[in-house]
Amino acid sequence: MALFDLPLEELHRYRPELSEPADFDAFWAGTLDRAREHEVLEDVVDVETGLDLVETFDVTFRGHDGAPIRAWYLRPAGAAAKLPVVVEYIGYGGGRGLPLEHLLWPAAGYAHLVMDTRGQAGAWGNGGDTVDPGGSGPAAPGSMTRGIEDPSTSYLTRLMTDAARAVDAARALPGADGRVAVTGNSQGGGLALAAGGLVPDVDAVMANVPFLCQIRRAIDFTDNDPYREIVRFLASNRSKQAAVERTLGYVDAVHLGRRSRARALFSAALRDMTCPPSTVFAAFNHWGGASGTDPERDIEVYPWNDHEGGAAVQNALQLRWLTERMPVRVG
């Protein structure tokens, strides 16, 4: 893929005007209040995986409207001290997979909570275990347009609420010290940004090539899925554009990220046609802007890469970045 978006110097200045719904904060406060009526942890079960150096637990926590969400919780075996937790969200179409796929953070001394993705896990990876009980009207194949005619029924509202509740769960887990970082790639990166805005006192946010940023621009800018799902939906539901655009205003990670007070590390790839770089920079440049603070933020740019971004190189950078800002306490 050739370069197709704004030049890098313009991306660093790109701070688009935003059009947030007037009741944005009230909507999300009510949504989270309803979710928090339910005790966050339902079950934490020790499981045998053959990973002698990692303790693994099968966690069920309560997400949007109290629905059960599955997760893996991994800790370094024998760790006596309480540990900070890195919460990870999964890319579009995947699920939590198997515990042995998630060893970076426990190997570095952190606890690690890997949230399953409701109603996905059928496109790649090694599966998942969480259903999406929410209803839906007409929708295009995929997850993006489920319930998209109203923010109260939108699949993305449910998913982002799950992401916020995963932070609540991480703070309640046995052996957790209360410090939480959130991370993910693509959809997972967008959820990390959303969680950072919905739970603005998280300690750190690490979002790689994040999805769900400046969604309205993205659907006009790329023909790639998953944004293309919205185009296909509106191509056959022509009268629903206004309702869809209204819903997207509530679930845009740029709007949510403006509320965060957390330090953040982003990455962007300049040849990324799945999550165009200008949409990532919109989130980066607006980060924390409505929080009354000026949180630290950094972005790593990969000029030669598509949606894979920095891959393991970025993971190594994240590890160095986080250990400087949220070190594991020994003893």
Which residues are designated catalytic? 186, 272, 307
Phi/psi of residue 117, each to 5°?
A: -110, 115
Q: CA end-to-end span of the chain, whole Å?
A: 49
Pair 268, 299: CB distance under 8 Å: yes
Rounded to an integer, what distance in angstroms lies between the CA atom of residue 280 and that of residue 270? Answer: 10
Contact residues for 293 (Cβ-Cβ < 8 A; gap 6+): 261
Which amino acid type is present at position 26? Answer: A
Phi/psi of residue 84, each to 5°?
A: -70, 155
Rounded to an integer, what distance in angstroms lies between the CA atom of residue 100 and that of residue 111? Answer: 14
Element (H, E) at 236: helix 227-236
Q: What number of residues does the chain have?
A: 331
Radius of gyration of the chain (CA): 19
Pair 119, 64: CB distance under 8 Å: no
Which amino acid type is present at position 18? Answer: L
